[in-house]
Structure 1
Amino acid sequence: MSNGSNRPPHPPGAPDTPLAPEDGVTESSAVALERLRAILVAPDAAPGQKLPTERELAAKLGLGRREIRRALEVLEAEGLIWRRQGAGTFTGPPQNIAQVPDDDISASPAGLLNLIEARLALEPSLARLAAQRAAPEVMRRIATCIDRIDSAKDADSADLWDSTLHREIAQAAANPLLLVLYDRLNAWRHDKRLLRLRTSLNERHRVGASYPQTEHRRILAAMEAGDGAAAAQAMRDHLMDLHALLLRYNQEEMTGHDL
């Protein structure tokens, strides 16, 4: 007899018996995982905070309880939540596990190195796409940013226009998913603690005034020519120079000696 569904019949009591969602409820464990992650990183989230029950989460997120349960299992395996029998599910690692210190481990020379490595993985691709897609007015805005960096009177102004330039390129790539990733990296770049380290780096290893502008103009010239490969390479060369500088800075901090 048909059960009115395309699914094969499930033996009673089988461990993976699906919890039938109500009409209109999305059935996707991946969707559940992403929505739960969003809850965990929300501004009002805090370690040790109790999460709603599976039933309440399913109703709140418009998902099936099976999908919620599977996503919670992944988050628990990642150490992002923990459960206590009879008490519920809580955010963060179990209370008997050492907590991460308040001074985030990313606020270090090694953290700066991680950041530039992440930028190396992303920004050359953004430059390649921008070279293929950017309109002439975008090129003019990028040229203005380079001019403003060149005429900056202090490090803060130069950093502001450098950040604006790189975001113009990211936005010109016309890929909203990549732009979200870029904005997240850019937010870390301007974290106050990392900013202090960057200031220390700039004071210790001063770079010639024409150095960044020359590299930026190489990127712009490749974009204006519509040469995606050249734009990507110019961006990669620019970031690799910064990577080498940060690697040296990290080694100096580890050894306590200037190299």
Structure 2
Amino acid sequence: MTREKLSQTISRELLKMIESGKYPPGSKLPTEMELAAQFGVSRIPIREALSVLRAAGVITSRQGGGSFVEERIGSSILHNLRIETDDIEWITHLFEIRKILEPEAAALAAQRRTPEHLERMRKALQWLEEEIADENKIGMEADLEFHRSMFLATQNPVMIQTLESLAPLYERTMSITLKPNVGLKSKRKSVYQEHLHIFQAIESEEPELAKVHCAIHLRNAEKKLSLYF
């Protein structure tokens, strides 16, 4: 069994324990060493499994204090971590494409953006900030508009058309990866900060930095999907 698959199995098992009430909201999880002993593995896959749960908004880490189940985690949030089997393959394929296209789009946007492109991105970012401030909103439309405005800034018509053709699948994926953040202020703030860092790199005309921040954003979004397999 590969390390990645092992960590995914552990993250799903921990999720089941949280859902069953073994680790209720606000409770502290066992230490990495204790979990490693419990699952009979090294601390590396345990660390990766906890990272997946953090990305999904299920747990939070406190410096020097270990990992805790989110106070506001509940059946509604856990339900949002469910996905139809038929969608899994399509969403996995989409992330493969996103990891190829979007970091490059961010780099091109940093090189080619005009003041008009920056203004549209800035408005999308402000919209996302407003949506995130409302804990009952997902922010999907604002999120998608930000990515659309980034692609427009590449001034590459093929890239732009590719995004538009994939828009329905983007919406489905975002609805899944963003829903667990509803009611979780820290996770919603993290999503906004990731978009802000991409925008700042594009605004500063730093293509490599824009590419890195975009890759980080996609990696964090993709981690949530590990819970569905």
Q: Normalising by the residue count of structure 2, what TM-score does the alignment of the two structures yield? A: 0.55
Spell out the pairing of 1:62-211 with structure 2 (5 A cutoff): 106-108=86-88, 110-152=89-131, 153=134, 158-191=139-172, 197-198=176-177, 201-202=180-181, 208-211=187-190
2:190 and 2:151 mapped to 1: Cα distance?
22
Is this contact kept in 1: 2:113–2:154, CA < 8 A? yes
Q: 1:231 to 1:240 in 2, by over 3 A?
A: same
Is this contact kept in 1: 2:107–2:208, CA < 8 A? yes
1:250 and 2:219 matched: no
Runs of 4+ with >3 A deviation = 154-157, 194-207
Q: Which has the higher contact order (CA 8 A, sep 6+)?
A: 2
Larger radius of gyration: 1
Give unmatched runs, 5+ long, in structure 2. 1-83
Q: Shift of residue 190 of structure 1? A: 2.5
Q: 1:244 to 1:207 in 2, by over 3 A?
A: farther
1:143 and 1:245 mapped to 2: Cα distance?
27
Is this contact kept in 1: 2:135–2:185, CA < 8 A? no
Q: Shift of residue 210 of structure 1? A: 1.3
Deviations 1:140-187 (CA, angstroms, capped at 9, x unpaired): 221221121111125656111100000000111011111111112222
2:186 and 2:166 mapped to 1: Cα distance?
23
Q: 1:182 to 1:106 in 2, by over 3 A?
A: farther
Aligned pair count reads 144
1:231 and 1:195 mapped to 2: Cα distance?
21
SS at match of 2:187: coil
2:215 and 2:178 mapped to 1: Cα distance?
23
1:242 and 1:181 mapped to 2: Cα distance?
20
CA RMSD of aligned residues (A): 2.7
Is this contact kept in 2: 1:113–1:250, CA < 8 A? no
1:111 and 1:161 mapped to 2: Cα distance?
23
Percent sequence identity over aligned pairs: 22
SS at match of 1:190: helix
More helix by share: 2
Q: 1:208 to 1:164 in 2, by over 3 A?
A: same
1:142 and 1:213 mapped to 2: Cα distance?
13
Q: Shift of residue 105 of structure 1? A: 6.7
